[in-house]
Structure 1
Amino acid sequence: MTESVPPREIIGAALRRERARSGLSLSEIARRANVSKSTLSQLESGSGNPSLETLWALCVALDIPFAGLLGEPRPRVQVIRAGEGPAVPSSQADYSAALLSASPPTARRDVYSISAEPGGRRLSDPHQSGVVEHVVLGTGRALVGLVDEPVELRPGDYISYPGDLAHVFEALEPGTRAVLISERT
């Protein structure tokens, strides 16, 4: 059984991570959020007891959504194997749906049907900054993902990876088919 991490520690880790991402100093974030530097330091160490208002002000100063302080950071590469995603069954039929990726409100997505055969790698140069690609393999087997770390997928497997880095799709079996979603934020 895994122990749950106290919310203060999750918030502290998120504040440290987001401050490092922003490139701003502790003093600058505290100034922008109108909180004391010592308060921010305590929160980052996981020892503070913040109010909702303080956390909201820090989110504004860091330019992140409130959920960014409570959730895990989005992984750079995510793989969901067939049958492993959290599925919700229908009461009307033998049918279930699993949410693989929620769309941000400002995202634009293109959906492609991919047909590939063994014998060659489809190497893609990086796309525009912020592009993320999502692939669900329907049939066959394929190596998919970042050029230097592709993942072997089997039918029903899902992968997402930054499309603004060089990536690859290589069919390993005849009749390999997939759905690819290219998302631009």
Structure 2
Amino acid sequence: MDTSALTTLGHHLQSLRQARGLSLSQLASAAGIAKSNLSRLEQGGGNPTLDTLWRLAVQLHVPFGTLVAPINVPLGEEDGVQVRLIDQGQDTPQVDVYWMHCDAHTTRRAEAHTSGVREALTLISGALEAGPEDETVWLLPGQSLCFAADQPHLYRTHELAATLMLTITYDREKSAP
């Protein structure tokens, strides 16, 4: 992320944290990150990983898209993976749509999302193995997969890079305003 995007993310993160009445220490501890890293992130510094952003969103009880909505650039490249929020639904249940690119020979392990969250992905190009860690499926362009994302899951490429559209649907009761 560039400096402008980091500054925007930091201000938004700070306002979400304060709106929930959490101190830096409380949020950092709950998300499993150092307080100094959270402080630096809120000040527009640092280089947050996708996992860090996901953990912060979970602890703030907001969809990932709500945390990153003000940013319109890819969320950095982490271990060969780039993610960009395309659109964030305003209805219930909350539905977010992302563009995702995985370089060749990449494995991206994702922590379990909150209860009731589902992911649906459609492969645009390349080849991709995805799904819950013990039930992965190989996809070719045009093929889709839907699974419960409230368990650890992964995205894996081999010789070919992969580009996909990823839709995350949050639990209807937990995404209600």
Give the TM-score normalised by structure 1. 0.42
The structure with more radius of gyration = 1
Give the TM-score normalised by structure 2. 0.44
